[in-house]
Structure 1
Amino acid sequence: MKRPFSFKSSVQFPIMIGWLILLIIPGILFVSDLSLFPWLALDSFAAETLFWITSTGTAPYGVATVLLVLLLGYQRLERSRFFSLFLAISLSMCATLGLNHYLKPYFSEARPNAVWLEQHYLLNTDSFYTLTKVERKEKMTTAVNRIEHANTELTLAPLIKQHWQHEVGFAFPSGHTLFAITLTIVASYYLLLAGNLWIPGMLFCWSIAIGFSRMLLGMHWSQDVLASTLIGGVIGLISLLVIHKTFPFIWSMSTKLVPQLIKKNQ
């Protein structure tokens, strides 16, 4: 049987270079000790645009993003490679969600917007993060509604206010960045194998935009995005390696089992 998936250096090189560039951007901010929040006016069109970008990595819209990538892959890949892509994305997304769920309470890092609210006497992060999620949303709603009466020039657009009220968990790691980097690494590999350049390029730019949106909207620190970019890349590469090792067996089983099931149901 012809092996439908194998690692090729011609594809590995652009993937690794792209991953390195994605690491450099938050890395510079981290080393320089620069914070992008609250640099951007959060009642501006730019802020609302970033909200829609970040929403592509937020449930349930993140599911639509994965389905769109799979659809594009289905149109451009042969059947065996698309099946391999599907398995690699499924594996990497499960690993990303599980790791994100475990690490957030482990590090218990407050988000930049919560720290900012505390600095303006609108929130107490120590007590805030001991509350249930529902109670945190209520506290955050009260805090953002009091911003206009505080001694600050910051104003939140309705969409940003809604986003702050919804995102009340811990900061580290950035789940959105993990999601974007992992999906980009995995999908780009298969699409580059098929000779497609523009979709990996779009995914690369989208990953950068996701990282910036998380920092500019006050959801994450630069170290969150940096670490999540590193972890997301590792998850993506490990997922590709696992599928590379197991796919010939899975594909062989599926090509035998599916025809048998069809014949049985006829």
Structure 2
Amino acid sequence: MALLLPVIIGQLAINVIKQHNQEPRPYVVWLSQTDRQADQHFYQLDVAQRQQLIKRDLASNGAIPAWQQQHWLAQTDPAFPSGHTIFAATWALMAVSLLLARGKWLLSTVIVLWAAGVIISRLALGMHWPGDVFVSIMLALYLSMPSVYWLRGGFTGD
């Protein structure tokens, strides 16, 4: 439970923040450079209307692979903050903190590389801005450290 709680709280926090936020994803800004109205009103539209705007803008751009187009169409919610990043960073921070205390360097390295891959992919795929990722990592740190402290015996009162 001590490991799941920070992950669950993080995902809930992301959902609440995104409901009150309308920061466009980088790919939305890029696609809307030819249609400023789409950029200004994108998050006031429902999901189906957002997807239609993206499809329209992608139709004139053959440089984007089909798999990435499908990814963009599936994620039309606001950019800030990054749910994938907080998920990966929370697990990585907790796992590495606990594993390094036991001398598990190789497994810790693998976990850090996995989390870094997730985080870098969010930027490379045009899903998030660097600030989205940074704030999500800071939230992950804030959420994961009490659990790590508790699991390492920090709240025992000794």
Question: How does the TM-score come out when normalised to structure 2?
Answer: 0.86
Q: Is structure 2 residue 35 aligned with structure 1 residue 144?
A: no
* Aligned residue runs from structure 1 range 111-190, under 5 A: 111-121=25-35, 124-148=38-62, 155-190=63-98
Any conservation in 1 of the 2:98–2:148 contact (CA below 8 Å)? Answer: no
Give CA deviations for 1:106-147 in whole Å, capped at 9, x if unaligned. 232111110111113387122221122233223322322232
* Percent of matched pairs sharing the same residue: 28
Q: Distance in 1 between matches of 2:25 and 2:70?
A: 16
* Matched positions, count: 156
- Name the CA distance, whole Å, in 2 between partners of 1:96 and 1:110: 21
Residue ranges of structure 2 left out of the alignment (5+ in a row): none
Three-state SS of the structure 2 residue aligned to 1:184 is: helix
Post-superposition shift, 1:242?
5.0
Letter in 2 for 1:139: L
Letter in 2 for 1:137: Q
Return the alpha-carbon distance in structure 2 between the equivalents of residues 143 and 123 of structure 1.
Answer: 13
- What is the alpha-carbon distance in structure 2 between the residues aligned to residue 236 and residue 108 of structure 1? 27
Alignment of 1:196 onto 2:110 = no
Distance 1:120 1:239, change over 3 A: farther
8 Å contact 1:122–1:146 — kept in the other structure?
A: no
Extract structure 1 runs of 4+ deviating beyond 4 A: 242-248
1:58-103 Cα offsets, whole Å, 9 max, x none, are xxxxxxxxxxxxxxxxxxxxxxxxxxxxx23211111111110011
Please report the RMSD computed on the Cα atoms of aligned residues, expressed in angstroms: 2.3
Partners of 1:108 and 1:215 in 2: CA distance: 18
Unaligned stretches of 5+ residues in structure 1: 1-86, 149-154, 249-266
Q: Name the larger-Rg structure.
A: 1
Rounded to whole Å, the distance in 2 between the matches of 1:193 and 1:112 is: 39
